[in-house]
Structure 1
Amino acid sequence: MTSGDEGSSATIRPRRGGSYAVGRARRTRILHIAMEEFAENGYRGASLARIAERAELSQPGLLHHFHTKEELLAATLDLRDEMDAARFTGADGTPLTGVAALAALADLVERNQRVPGLVQLFTVLSAEAVTTDHPAHDWARSRYRRIRAFIADGIRAGVASGEFRPGVDPVAHAFRLVALMDGLQQQWLVDEDAVDMAALFGGYLRETLDAIRARPVP
């Protein structure tokens, strides 16, 4: 009896794990489809019914995974942040600093040029989220603060390590670099053939590094 019970238990566990894996894969697929829907139509124009149809689910089936449209948006934005976060940390898991931190921004812009749907998602939702009642408002504000803090901290660490010259204003450079990234993204989405945002951002970043690098003592 004992061995039979153990055998029965062993046959149940893989099915449970398999079911979990299937549910996780379905959830991830829903999030990628929702990214496309929010990018194309914004939050207010996006339709749960349309997302469910594109995911080959009924609307109740979609709501089993995400109970509200706001919850789905939050999970979508979290996924987008996770996709970017790894680019700003080193192999040891600590944030990049100095030249490496700024180079990570250039890498991100270059990557974004290959994934227009993600850029469109961020641009559309950021524009909508200027109103305080928008569900993405707090996310957008927090995201801007995080990326400015990453840049400013990276520059401060560069000054402390001797990569960058003393007297550099990390916060001002952070605001300027973020403004340039957003402005280039907007223009690129509107007129892709005329704007090479990776090349333009890379050129500006090289000029910035030339201006803030520590000079060798004569």
Structure 2
Amino acid sequence: MARRGPYAKGLSRRREILRTALEVIVRTGYSSASVRELAERVGLSQAGLLHHFGTKEELFVEVLRARDEVDAGLAEVGEAGPGEEEAGSDEGEAGGAPAGRQEDIGVDRFLNIIRRNAVVPGLVHLYVRLQAEAADSSHVAAEYFRQRQQRVRQGLVQAISAEQRQGRMPADLDPEAVARTLMALADGAQAQWLHDPAVDMAGLVAGYVEQLRQQA
């Protein structure tokens, strides 16, 4: 049944804010994305904008969730540039459910997401900063990162196991260890890239994957 009335209007407004926040961060970077600018872009006061999310930090966590949904959607329909992306959909609240399905996280798909990140430094900065802050279990982003890491790890374990069955990776590899290594490489490469844009994030991770495949 379609949602109607104030609730549906609230969901639509929330999606609009997330789309706008995602656009602003892509365009100007995380550090320059102020609540004041976001509020002005969607025709709200700062208090009105935060009414939908609670705090600026909670808003940015939802931006990351929305970006995860964009990545999951692009993985299903094909590649698209940053200008073609849209956070959320009319079928539900952007960020209201875990982004993507475990089986959507293939090894090559994982690499493609890292490649796309190279054109959105503001989002990478936001991700790396909140990930570090979320090491404190009381941080608003802690549960998001716990769930995300579990979801991505499980998806990669499934993908690596599938490659082993297909003879594309050595059968004696521990899929769990390989998945954790891929995630650590990706996170480390992103942190290095923020300091030195010459770092090839996807290339570092892809090189490891290729080494494994050559051993099969």
Alignment TM-score > 0.5, same fold: yes
* Match status 1:196 vs 2:203: no
SS state at 2:160 partner: helix
- In the TM superposition, what is the alpha-carbon distance from 1:119 to its structure 2 partner? 1.0
Contact 2:20 2:38 in 1 (8 A): yes
Residue 214 of structure 2 is matched in structure 1 by 210
Counterpart code for 1:66:
F
1:158 counterpart letter in structure 2:
E
Cross-structure match for 1:108? 113
Amino acid at match of 2:30: A
Aligned match of 2:103: 95
- Tell me if the contact between 1:34 and 1:76 (Cα under 8 Å) persists in the aligned partners: no
CA offsets per residue over residues 93-149 of structure 1, 9 Å max, x none? 88258xxx2111221111111111111111111011100110001111111111111
Indicate the residue corresponding to 1:173 in structure 2: 178
Q: Does 1:72 align with 2:59?
A: yes
Unaligned runs of 5+ in 1: 1-15, 214-218
Q: 1:147 to 1:168 in 2, by over 3 A?
A: same
- Unaligned 5+ residue runs, structure 2? 1-5, 79-100
- Residue of structure 1 equivalent to 2:72: 85
180-189 vs 202-211, greater mean Cα deviation: 202-211
Distance 2:156 2:15 in 1: 34
Q: Does 1:128 align with 2:115?
A: no
The answer to whether structure 1 residue 154 and structure 2 residue 144 are counterparts is: no
What SS does the corresponding residue of 1:151 show, helix, strand or coil?
Answer: helix
Kept in 1: contact 2:102–2:155 (CA 8 A): no
- What's the TM-score once normalised by structure 2's chain length? 0.70
Q: Percent identity?
A: 37
Distance 1:136 1:174, change over 3 A: same
Q: 1:146 to 1:90 in 2, by over 3 A?
A: farther
Q: Does 1:27 align with 2:35?
A: no
Which amino acid is 1:39 matched to?
Answer: Y
Q: Distance in 2 between matches of 1:201 and 1:58?
A: 43
Tell me which structure has the larger Cα radius of gyration.
1
TM (norm. structure 1) is 0.69
Aligned residues: 186
In the TM superposition, what is the alpha-carbon distance from 1:182 to its structure 2 partner? 0.7
1:112/1:119 contact within 8 Å kept = yes
Q: Is the alpha carbon distance of 1:192 and 1:61 closer, same or farther for their aligned partners in structure 2, counting shifts above 3 Å?
A: same
Q: Decide which structure has greater helix share.
A: 1
The corresponding residue for 1:40 is 31
2:58–2:140 Cα contact (<8 Å) kept: no
Contact 1:33/1:51 (CA < 8 Å) preserved in 2?
no
Q: Which amino acid aligns with 2:44?
A: L
User: What is the root-mean-square deviation of aligned Cα atoms in Å?
Assistant: 3.4
Question: 1:49 Cα shift?
Answer: 4.2
Q: Where does residue 12 of structure 1 map in the other structure?
A: none
Corresponding residue for 1:8? Answer: none
Equivalence for 1:63: 50
CA drift at 1:33: 5.9
Residues 1:143 and 2:159 aligned together: no
